[in-house]
């Protein structure tokens, strides 16, 4: 009897796991098929120009979203990343156009500013223990105000062709911005998944208390996560300069909700229950294809924010519902001695563990719903 129940539990876990991992890819393919056969969108949707536009146009959003993944892996929100990308975009353009500096100097200035703003966030959150969401949301607002003050609300143009044309060219038939997105994604994926450094990040994101017990320097890792997210945002800002040929002070905020939607959609697939690189990239293009297809069908302009918001809500809802269903099918097992070494903690589990009860929750993001539960 117990064996039969155990087998049923294993089958249920397998089915739920497959549904969770493959749900978003299946929906993505279904969305493509719908727009590919719809009479109002099929010709334009399948055109080479439209496909190139989707692939290249979402690269900036994708890099912004990957920047969000870094602190989220450690358990902290950073919503200032789109604003930092906007500042880097403006700094790069202004250094080249207004101050007559070479392109490489403008790019270096943008990278340094991104790192500096990441350092500020890291100090406020990791050292001074301020609420990460409040700090970065406040920083987002401050940076947007400073951008408008510096530019008088006007767009700056005149970037040299050596930089301005880069974002519109291809390599091996694939838009260069897409190559950059995958290079950034590959580097981040390797660092988070295949290095002790990345496993320690996941350990901090799962439980700061347990991470401290095994000797992980939590504050240093949290600080570094904000620095790296600032650097990633600066890369997105430079790419934005190349794509637009200038700097628009209002460009940054437009990447916030698409980026968040992609990150949370990504947490429902590939490695369900965790923020991950390839799931995030898939989420970016899922949202982009949806908006593009509905626009071609003739949807009104309001479909863009509605789809972004609906995708974000749906991602959290699906992750939570499937996580609860998994909990109801949990298998009772004998308690095992946990391996809590810095090298192994967070290495084999795809789902974050609960945080200590005494840990302040308001400064931490809600983790995606766990994908597996072990009843003690």
What DSSP line would sit under 22-53, residue for residue?
Answer: HHHHHHHHHHHHHHHH-TTTHHHHTSHHHHHH
Are 304 and 56 contacting, i.e. CB atoms less than 8 angstroms apart? no
Angstrom distance (rounded) from CA 263 to CA 279: 8
pLDDT given at position 183 = 95
Low-confidence ranges of the chain (pLDDT < 70): 1-21, 319, 321-376
Angstrom distance (rounded) from CA 245 to CA 241: 5
Are 228 and 70 contacting, i.e. CB atoms less than 8 angstroms apart? yes
Angstrom distance (rounded) from CA 148 to CA 224: 29
pLDDT given at position 229 = 96
pLDDT given at position 10 = 58
User: Other C-beta atoms within 10 Å of 374: how many?
Assistant: 14
How far from 45 is each of 50, 51, 217, 254, 286, CA to CA, in Å?
Answer: 6, 7, 50, 23, 14
Handedness of CA 291, 294, 298, 301 (dihedral sign): negative
Are 325 and 179 contacting, i.e. CB atoms less than 8 angstroms apart? no
pLDDT given at position 7 = 58
User: Other C-beta atoms within 10 Å of 152: how many?
Assistant: 8
Domain definitions of the chain by residue range: 15-375
Handedness of CA 172, 176, 180, 182 (dihedral sign): negative
Are 177 and 56 contacting, i.e. CB atoms less than 8 angstroms apart? yes
Angstrom distance (rounded) from CA 216 to CA 203: 9
Length of the chain: 376
User: Residue 331 phi/psi, 5° resolution?
Assistant: -100, 130
Are 85 and 244 contacting, i.e. CB atoms less than 8 angstroms apart? no
Which helix (H) or strand (E) element contains residue 204?
helix 196-206
In CATH, what number does 15-375 get?
A: 1.10.3470
Are 47 and 357 contacting, i.e. CB atoms less than 8 angstroms apart? no
CA neighbor of 372 nearest in space, from 265, 275, 279, 273: 273
pLDDT given at position 184 = 95
Beta-bridge partners for 58: none
pLDDT given at position 4 = 55
């Amino acid at each position: 009897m117990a064996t039969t129940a155990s087998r049923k539990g294993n089958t249920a876990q397998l089915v739920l796991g497959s549904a969770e991992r493959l749900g978003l890819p299946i929906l993505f393919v279904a969305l493509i098929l719908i727009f590919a056969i719809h009479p109002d969108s099929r010709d334009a949707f399948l055109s080479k120009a439209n496909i190139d536009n989707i692939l290249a146009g979402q690269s900036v959003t994708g890099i912004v979203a990957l920047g969000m993944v870094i602190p989220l892996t450690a358990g902290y929100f950073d919503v200032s990343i789109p604003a930092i990308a906007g500042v880097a975009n403006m700094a790069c353009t202004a250094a080249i156009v207004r101050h007559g500096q070479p392109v490489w100097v403008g790019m270096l200035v943008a990278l340094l500013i991104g790192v500096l703003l990441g350092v500020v966030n890291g100090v406020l959150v990791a050292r001074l223990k301020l609420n990460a969401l409040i700090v970065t949301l406040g920083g987002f607002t401050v940076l947007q105000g400073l951008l408008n003050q510096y530019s008088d609300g006007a767009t700056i143009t005149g970037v040299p062709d050596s930089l301005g044309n880069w974002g519109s060219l291809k390599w091996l038939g694939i838009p260069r911005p897409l190559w950059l997105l995958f290079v950034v994604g590959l580097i981040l994926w390797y660092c988070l998944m295949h290095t002790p450094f990345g496993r320690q990040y996941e350990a901090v994101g799962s439980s700061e208390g347990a991470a401290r017990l095994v000797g992980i320097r939590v504050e240093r890792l949290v600080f570094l996560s904000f620095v790296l997210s600032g650097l990633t945002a600066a890369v997105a800002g430079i790419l934005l300069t190349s794509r637009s040929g200038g700097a628009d002070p209002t460009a940054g905020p437009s990447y916030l909700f698409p980026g968040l939607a992609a990150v949370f959609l990504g947490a429902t697939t590939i490695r369900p229950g965790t923020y991950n690189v390839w799931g995030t990239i898939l989420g970016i293009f899922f949202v982009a294809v949806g908006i593009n297809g509905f626009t071609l069908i003739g949807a009104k302009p309001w479909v863009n924010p509605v789809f972004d918001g609906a995708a974000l809500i749906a991602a959290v809802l699906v992750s939570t519902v499937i996580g609860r269903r998994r909990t109801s099918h949990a298998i009772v097992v004998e308690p095992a001695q946990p391996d809590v070494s810095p090298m192994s903690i967070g290495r084999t589990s795809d789902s974050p563990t609960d945080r200590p009860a005494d840990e302040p929750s308001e400064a931490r993001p809600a983790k995606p719903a766990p994908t597996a539960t072990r009843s003690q």
